[in-house]
Amino acid sequence: MYMERTFDTAEDYETTLKSWMVEFTVKVDEDSHRHLTMIMATDISTVHHQLLRELRKEYQDSARVDVTVHRIEPVTTNTDALYFEGIFVP
């Protein structure tokens, strides 16, 4: 007997790729650098891994880097394009 695979919507939601906004400050020696980045990931754990990878790439020559994460949140807002119609011209 052949049984068709069923899909659980909660399970599909967990594996959906989302945009995450990450705001953080990096302190190298006496210099502080504020960053705002977008990371594509499925969950918060993947966001952490992507952020670490980005930091290692950006600050690979630094011996010590102190990072303070201010905010990590998924981007869920859909902007109404009509609100901006006529305000900004490329």
Q: Measured between alpha carbons, how far is 82 from 88 in angstroms, rounded to an integer?
A: 11
Asked if the structure places residue 45 within a domain, the reply is yes
Give the predicted TM-score (pTM) of the model.
0.67
Q: What is the CATH number of the domain that holds 21?
A: 3.10.20.10
Let me know if 86 is exposed, middle or buried by CB neighbors in 10 A (0-12, 13-18, 19+): exposed
pLDDT < 50: residue spans in the chain = 1, 7, 13
- pLDDT of res. 22: 97
How much of the chain, in percent, has pLDDT values that exceed 70?
68
CB neighbour list of residue 58: distance below 8 Å, 6 or more residues apart? none
The answer to whether position 4 is within a domain reads no
**Full residue range of the structural domain in which residue 39 is found:** 15-76
Consecutive H or E run containing 46 = helix 44-58
Identify the H or E element spanning 7.
none
- In total, how many domains does the chain have? 1
In a domain, 66, yes or no: yes
Per-residue pLDDT, 16 = 85
What's the gap between Cα 61 and its chain centre?
24
